[in-house]
Amino acid sequence: MHNKLSYPAIAARGLGVDLGGREVLRDVSFTLAPGEKLAVVGPNGAGKTTLLKALMGLVPRRGDVMLHGRGSRPAAFVAQSSDLDLDFPATVAQLVTCGRRLQKKTFGWFRLTDRQAASRALTRVGLDGLESRGIRELSGGQLQRALLARALVQEADILLLDEPFTGVDAATVESICEILDTLTDEGRTVMAVSHDLSLVRNRFDRCLTVNETVIADGHPDEVLGPDGIERLLFSH
């Protein structure tokens, strides 16, 4: 068996996506090493969410995507909290434990080990004690942390997060950032979409700017400078 650390965590080459008769992404190429924390920045409609979904294989794609040197490997996708159906009568514990089903890609009964994993994940994101609360009773910050816990129970090496800082207060943003720092310190790879340029500059070591294709890739101070922003906005 190959050592996963000898390969990039993510390697995309010539990645393209067509949706609804429109080219959403074209010729996207980049690599991401294990333990890196990358922010994805771009205007609305630039294809940022589609990029995460393409890496997960959730949308039809062209080109090559390798996760740790393989065509597929455990990766967890954290969608925007606004995509969640809050009218569904699920508790916090049920929401998080469902991540184990995503990991195993099976639909059997949950085991004790699954529930224990969910409990550990909830403790890690600071939601222990809220297991029996309905998801519709959560604040925006609590819901975002619950979705992160659902990703953690999948035991994935790669976490792809779509706007994890949107609609949450400053304390929750700091809490999520600290969790992501811990994960990358453990060797996991984090790729997060964000519109908060100040946050990206202060909490991420690398930034990928996207507007249907990769516009720039590098340190946030470089790619998010005045010239970089102008190039991103007027790249068509």
For 142-165, how does the pLDDT look when each residue is reduced to its tens digit (9 = 90+)? 999 999 999 999 888 899 999 999
pLDDT tens across 68-102, in order? 876 555 789 998 876 777 777 789 998 898 888 76
Closest C-alpha to 190, from 221, 164, 211: 164
Q: Could you give the strand order of the β-sheet that contains 189-193, starting from the edge strand earlier in sequence?
A: 75-78, 158-162, 189-193, 37-41, 206-210, 214-218
pLDDT in tens, 43-53: 999 999 999 99
CA angle, residues 29, 30, 34, in degrees to nearest 5: 150
DSSP helix/strand/coil, 187: coil
Start-end of H helices in the chain: 48-56, 92-104, 112-124, 140-152, 170-185, 197-203, 220-223, 226-233
Give me the residue label for tokens 């990703």.
Answer: 151
User: What residues form DSSP beta bridges with 15?
Assistant: 28
